């Protein structure tokens, strides 16, 4: 029997239509019609093909929704924005699931579009959960390297003493545990893109070596003298202020300038509040599709809460929240379906305009006032989390679905020490509630 050639390995073209998809499905159906039995390998192949088709359908429907989404901003600016978004679609730009119509986001996508076909390094910065990894994938998907691998390295999750071996590989016997020669991520990403996530966490020794790759496209495995040529496009991401780290001597300035030839900044969700209703719509649909249910309706007070909340975890937090609500609620979701650590008391919810409101000095600008309020909300959120988990950072990270290293960074930023919360009752009542 003939099984159609791996559609999953084809570069998914943005121009593919529903018609073309149906044709692929028909070919698959006809290949299933006659055989009396199937080998395991054939079943696996068909399984991969159906997965690829499902992803393609999801991508198409997202693109469609992105196109038809009503812009909430008014006037001429809205017109230009809609036109800019339409222009990206007309140019076959691949959004890879990025959704939104905020001017800063559209601008970031336009930069990504221009940067994608080049080999220039790109630095993406933004708070946790703002879509940095997604944006890195967008850059990869819109460039000439789509057929080659996209390899992610989380510089914050690898112990300092292993990071160089992870990036550049190692020679057998070069350190305890190096029982065989091993290629690093740069070699695996050859011809494709290497995504260096949390680049601010890269130790100085690794930074020097990375600089060398940027200058000469050469690497050396740990413990080896042999120089290996690599061709991997570098996209890095950080949620830290790298220039400040440079000032503190924790990040090399020369590396910073080389990495940030093109910089894309993703704004936190609380700075694009106008987009929250749109994202809620989109994510509710996405969750409904994934869970095979009707899109969940939101009660008025839940809707008010979701529009006023500060989202320290940004779009990831909103996304997780919409999936949670869609999973737990019946036809209509209410405050009780929110995660406990952010759930306002139902008695006071109506009177509370926004979670995380903080007192701010009178003589500061609106931007500064927003920053102060948001910092205060972030701190309270972490304090509540530490209290609820008895100072266990790993548990806290799982609970708020954030990378542990990020949680550590945030705790440091606010001068919080998990030790101070050890032994505190992991109560899920007053301690975990944000007021
Ligand atoms: N504009 C967007 N439209 C739709 N989904 C988005 C958007 N931005 C982010 N997301 C979703 O939010 C989640 C978090 O995104 P992503 O992992 O890219 O964030 P991040 O900035 O890399 O976070 P972190 O710093 O914690 O690693 C993902 O599920 C992603 O698909
Ligand atoms: Mg990330």
List the domain boundaries for the chain: 7-68, 92-265, 269-349, 366-432
pTM of the model: 0.67
Instruction: Check pocket membership of 131 for ligand 1, CB cut-off 6 A.
Output: yes
Q: Which residues pair with 124 in a beta bridge?
A: 237, 264
The dihedral formed by the CA atoms of 201, 202, 203 and 204, expressed in degrees to the nearest 10: -120
DSSP 160: H
> How far is residue 289's CA from residue 171's CA, in Å, rounded to a whole number?
47
- What is the whole-number distance in angstroms between the Cα of residue 239 and the centre of ligand 1? 12
> How far is residue 277's CA from residue 125's CA, in Å, rounded to a whole number?
24
pLDDT value at residue 52: 79
DSSP 335: G
Higher per-residue confidence, 285 vs 274: 285
- What is the whole-number distance in angstroms between the Cα of residue 4 and the centre of ligand 1? 33
pLDDT tens-digit readout, 173-222:
888 888 888 999 999 999 999 999 999 999 998 999 999 999 999 999 99
DSSP 96: T
- What is the whole-number distance in angstroms between the Cα of residue 198 and the centre of ligand 2? 8
CATH code: domain 269-349 is 1.10.8.60
Is residue 46 pLDDT above 80, yes or no? yes
Find the mean pLDDT for residues 362-377.
Answer: 77
Q: Residue 146 half-sphere exposure, CB side, CA atoms within 13 Å?
A: 17
- What is the whole-number distance in angstroms between the Cα of residue 129 and the centre of ligand 1? 5
> How far is residue 74's CA from residue 29's CA, in Å, rounded to a whole number?
47
**Could you tell me if 99 and 318 are in contact, meaning their C-beta atoms sit under 8 angstroms apart?**
no
Give the number of the atom of ligand 1 that is nearest the alpha carbon of residue 126: 21
Higher per-residue confidence, 430 vs 25: 25
Q: What percent of the chain has pLDDT over 70?
A: 83
Q: Sorting pLDDT into bands at 50, 70 and 90, what band is 254?
A: very high
**Could you tell me if 358 and 376 are in contact, meaning their C-beta atoms sit under 8 angstroms apart?**
yes
- Residue closest via CA to ligand 1's atom 8 equals 131
Higher per-residue confidence, 152 vs 48: 152
pLDDT value at residue 85: 85
**Could you tell me if 195 and 259 are in contact, meaning their C-beta atoms sit under 8 angstroms apart?**
no
pLDDT value at residue 66: 60
Q: Sorting pLDDT into bands at 50, 70 and 90, what band is 315?
A: very high
Cα 248–chain centre separation: 27
Compute how many other C-beta atoms are within 10 angstroms of the C-beta atom of residue 341. Answer: 19
Give the number of the atom of ligand 1 that is nearest the alpha carbon of residue 100: 1
> How far is residue 272's CA from residue 264's CA, in Å, rounded to a whole number?
16
> How far is residue 303's CA from residue 220's CA, in Å, rounded to a whole number?
54
- What is the whole-number distance in angstroms between the Cα of residue 250 and the centre of ligand 1? 26
pLDDT value at residue 77: 54
Instruction: Check pocket membership of 69 for ligand 1, CB cut-off 6 A.
Output: no
Higher per-residue confidence, 199 vs 428: 199
Q: Sorting pLDDT into bands at 50, 70 and 90, what band is 354?
A: very low
pLDDT value at residue 2: 41
DSSP 222: B
Annotation: CATH topology of 92-265: Rossmann fold (3.40.50)
Instruction: Check pocket membership of 14 for ligand 1, CB cut-off 6 A.
Output: no
Give the number of the atom of ligand 1 that is nearest the alpha carbon of residue 137: 18
> By C-alpha distance, which of 87, 93, 90, 92 is closest to 113?
93
Mean pLDDT of the residues in the chain: 82
Do β-strands 262-265 and 122-125 pair in parallel, antiparallel, or remain unpaired? parallel
């Amino acid at each position: 029997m003939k099984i159609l050639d791996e559609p999953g390995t084809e570069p998914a073209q943005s121009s593919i239509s529903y018609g073309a998809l149906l044709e692929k499905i028909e070919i698959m159906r006809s290949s299933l019609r006659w055989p009396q039995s199937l080998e395991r390998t054939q079943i696996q192949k068909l399984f991969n093909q159906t997965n690829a088709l499902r992803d393609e359908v999801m991508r198409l429907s997202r693109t469609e929704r992105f196109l038809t989404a009503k812009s909430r901003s008014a006037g001429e600016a809205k017109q230009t924005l809609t036109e800019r978004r339409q222009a990206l679609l007309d140019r076959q730009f691949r959004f890879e699931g990025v959704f939104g119509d905020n001017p800063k986001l559209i601008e970031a996508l336009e930069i990504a579009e221009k940067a994608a076909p080049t080999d220039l390094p790109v630095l993406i910065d933004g708070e946790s959960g703002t879509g940095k990894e997604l944006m890195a994938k967008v850059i990869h998907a819109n460039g000439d390297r789509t057929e080659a691998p996209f390899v992610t390295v989380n510089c914050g999750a690898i112990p300092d003493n292993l990071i160089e071996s992870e990036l550049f590989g190692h020679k057998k016997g070069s350190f305890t545990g190096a029982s065989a020669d091993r290629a690093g991520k740069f070699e695996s990403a050859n011809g494709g893109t290497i995504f260096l996530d949390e680049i601010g966490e890269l130790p100085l020794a690794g930074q020097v070596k990375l600089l060398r790759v940027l200058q000469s496209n050469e690497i050396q495995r740990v413990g080896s003298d042999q120089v290996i040529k690599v061709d991997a496009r570098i996209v890095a991401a950080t949620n830290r202020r790298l220039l400040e780290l440079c000032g503190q001597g924790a990040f090399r300035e020369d590396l910073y300038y080389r990495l940030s030839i093109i910089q894309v900044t993703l704004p936190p969700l609380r700075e694009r509040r106008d987009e929250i209703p749109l994202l809620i719509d989109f994510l509710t649909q996405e969750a409904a599709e994934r869970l095979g249910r009707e899109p969940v309706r939101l009660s008025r007070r839940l809707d008010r809460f979701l529009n006023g909340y500060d989202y320290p975890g940004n779009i990831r937090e909103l996304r997780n929240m919409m999936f949670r609500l869609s999973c737990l609620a019946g036809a209509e979701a209410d405050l009780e379906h929110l995660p406990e650590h952010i759930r306002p008391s139902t008695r006071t919810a109506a009177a509370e305009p926004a979670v995380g409101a903080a007192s701010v000095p009178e003589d500061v600008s609106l931007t500064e006032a927003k920053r102060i309020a948001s910092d205060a909300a972030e701190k309270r959120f972490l304090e509540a989390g530490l209290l609820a988990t008895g100072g266990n950072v790993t548990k806290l990270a799982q609970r708020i679905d954030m990378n542990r290293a990020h949680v550590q960074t945030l705790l440091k930023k606010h001068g919080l020490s998990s030790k101070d919360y050890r032994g505190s009752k992991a109560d899920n009542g007053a301690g975990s509630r944000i007021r």
